[in-house]
Amino acid sequence: MDGKNMLRTAAVIGLGKLGSPMAAAISAHGVAVIGADLDASKVEAINRGEPPVNETNLADYIRRGRAQLRATADIEAAVSEAEITFVIVPTPSEPHGGFSLRNVVSACEAIGRGLKKKKGFPVVVITSTVMPGSTGGPIRECLEKHSGKKTGKEFGLCYSPEFIALGSVIHDFLNPDFILVGESDPRSGEILDAFYQAVCDNHPHIARMNYVNAELSKLAVNTYVTTKIAYANMLAHICERLPGADVDVVTEAIGHDTRIGVKYLKGAVGYGGPCFPRDNLAMGRLARDLGAQAALAETTDHENRAEVRRLADLVKKHTRPGSKVGILGLSYKPDTEVIEESQGILLARMLMDEELELLVYDPMALNAARMVLGDGPTYAASAEDLVRQSDIVVITTPWKEFARIPERAFSGHRTRLVLIDAWRIAPALWRSKTQYIPVGVHTSS
């Protein structure tokens, strides 16, 4: 996007774990960004030039875009200044699947009032994950009601969810595999298309379509990926029982088939986090509401929830009276403190319910873990400290530092240390000093 067509000002509504990195990345690419959030602490942090959330490279990108980045609690004012507005507020899961629009609709009331004051053809982009039918339904209706303007004539409306993961939000936003654009009209789609082409560091394919297809495509991507994870875990179960079998050898081989690919094909633990589990439930809910079936998504969810029981049973198999069990990894993935649906947390809860003595450690997630696990486990000071004190160690999150624990930590145990390595990241030296049990590999133990 250059010359007279370049958008000069963008608003980002919602400065949480996705919105703040998105605002920083856009501003670092020369676009003036007004972030808006009702949380005063997030607004103040941005205006001080500090990251309001923990995210890889966020502080650096805020520094780079400092001259173009500011924040406010006044959503209406932010929208009235912006040519394009991105809405990235939480859409909490509902009890039986699906996503609540309460935060989006609340934001859109203020956005609509801001649009009323805005001349030209501003574009509103819904980035939050929503159920099919939401953008063209309640969201569009709310914006039109509070702006007094018509979608596609006086302002544009697009649905464009991000495919980004915590811990790599900025990289993923700037280097997407592809971008979904559900558009109210061609003009709106062209504006958003040009914006992404200017801001992204790569040259992604931009798939433009109507709202419903874009909304369904978002759910389809995540449910397909989770099915792939569950399939790799199924292979791991089989390999553990088949003499000579190794899930890494199998998945590496089949991943070279372009119909399959290597991404997410790693037999290990169940998936977790704020997106994958709930998107399968949402797909099931959507299908039921339509009188269709989404048995594959529902089965994937069921099988994934069984993974932690399998891991707990493997731990119990090796416990003796007085055994101390250590869990390395409480975040749902490396490089984030988020513990939502994490296998480490689920395993800790299950083992505490069975009254095993438990130690836990994570480089970033200990504070979050204390909020949900309370005084049940002992919180180790480091990975080395946990290994020293444990009789059984389970690696549930593949943090790089877990593969660099000093050799001295594996000495001095009263019995041979049992190391259950769900991700198979342990170096050869550890394997020789422990009773090593790699998930997904047949062993004689």
Angstrom distance (rounded) from CA 55 to CA 160: 22
Q: Are 178 and 207 in contact (CB under 8 A)?
A: yes
d(CA 94, CA 63) in angstroms, rounded, equals 38
Q: Are residues 105 and 217 in the same domain?
A: no
Number of domains in the chain: 2
How far is it, in rounded angstroms, from Cα 254 to Cα 51? 41
Same domain, yes or no: 302 and 337: yes
> What does the pLDDT look like over 379-401, one tens digit per residue?
999 999 999 999 999 999 999 99
The reply to whether 99 and 65 lie within a common domain is: yes
- The pLDDT score that the predictor gives to residue 248 is 97
Query: Quick one: how far is CA 280 from the chain centroid?
Result: 14
Q: Per residue in 141-169, pLDDT tens?
A: 999 999 999 999 999 999 999 999 999 99
Same domain, 308 and 182: no
Q: How many CA atoms lie within 13 A of 22 on its CB side?
A: 29
Least confident range of 73-82, 97-106, 298-307, 436-445: 436-445
Residues whose CB falls within 8 Å of the CB of residue 194, separated by 6 or more in sequence, listed in order: 1, 5, 7
251 and 265, same domain (yes or no): yes
pLDDT digits (tens, 9 = 90+) for 176-226: 999 999 999 999 999 999 999 999 999 999 999 999 999 999 999 999 999
40, 177: one domain: yes
Residue 96 has pLDDT above 90, yes or no: no
Amino acid at 105: V
Q: Are residues 95 and 244 in the same domain?
A: no
User: What is the model's pLDDT at position 361?
Assistant: 98
Task: Decide which of 176, 194, 209 is a domain's last residue.
Answer: 209
Using one digit for the tens of pLDDT, what is the confidence trace for 37-75?
999 999 999 999 999 999 999 999 999 999 999 999 999
pTM above threshold 0.95 = no
Alpha-carbon distance 9 to 84, whole Å?
Answer: 7
Domain boundary among 191, 209, 227: 209
Residue 3 has pLDDT above 80, yes or no: no
Q: Tell me the mean pLDDT in the region 106-120.
A: 96
227 and 202 within one domain: no
Of the three residues 209, 243, 272, the one that is the final residue of a domain is 209
Tell me: do 79 and 219 sit in the same domain. no
**How many Å apart are CA 381 and CA 185, to the nearest integer?**
55
Residue 109: give the domain boundaries.
3-209
Find out whether 434 and 419 touch, Cβ atoms under 8 Å: yes
How far is residue 48 from each of residues 55, 64, 81, 398, measured CA to CA in Å? 17, 13, 21, 34
> Residue 12's domain is classified under what CATH number?
3.40.50.720
pLDDT > 90 in the chain, percent: 93
